[in-house]
Amino acid sequence: EIVLTQSPGTLSLSPGERATLSCRASQSVSSSYLAWYQQKPGQAPRLLIYGASSRATGIPDRFSGSGSGTDFTLTISRLEPEDFAVYYCQQYGSSPRVYTFGQGTKLEIK
């Protein structure tokens, strides 16, 4: 099964800065099957990006996703105070049919 490794583990930035989060897969992943979620303390995860680069409904355009193969990136162009949270990448495997999450990147205020 595919393993997703996210880096860095923690990213310390200031509001207004650009954030770049990485998700690396242990083998090639179809772009169609790569997603990103945001989770704030005490809350359920929220879908941000699907198909590697498509924003989910209601997600601001400062969030963007890119990548292919084994390397994927979530970029937040200008950080807002509400963006400080933990971010997870997730992939779907069609054989076997399983879902895998990365270990998360914590985005904290510097």
Partner 1 sequence: QVTLKESGPALVKPTQTLTLTCTFSGFSLSTSGMRVSWIRQPPGKALEWLARIDWDDDKFYSTSLKTRLTISKDTSKNQVVLTMTNMDPVDTATYYCARIAATGTIFDYWGQGTLVTVSS
Question: Which lies closer to partner 1 via its Cβ, residue 16 or residue 41?
Answer: 41
* Comparison of 14 and 36: residue with beta carbon closer to partner 1: 36
Q: Residue holding tokens 């990213």?
A: 11
Site for partner 1 (CB under 8 A): which residue of 2, 22, 45, 66? Answer: 45
Residue 32 binding partner 1, by CB under 8 A: yes
Residue 10's H or E segment, with its range, is strand 10-13
Q: How buried is 95 (Cβ within 10 angstroms: 0-12 exposed, 13-18 middle, 19+ buried)?
A: exposed
Query: Which part of the chain contacts partner 1 (CB under 8 A), choosing from 15-23, 36-44, 60-68, 70-78?
Result: 36-44
CA distance 79 to 21: 13
Taking the complex as a whole, the smallest distance from the CB of residue 20 to partner 1 amounts, in Å, to 20
47 sits near partner 1 (criterion: CB under 8 A): yes
Q: Are 86 and 105 within 8 A, CB to CB?
A: yes
Per CB under 8 A, residues contacting partner 1 are: 1, 32-33, 35, 37, 43-47, 50-51, 56, 88, 90, 92, 96-104
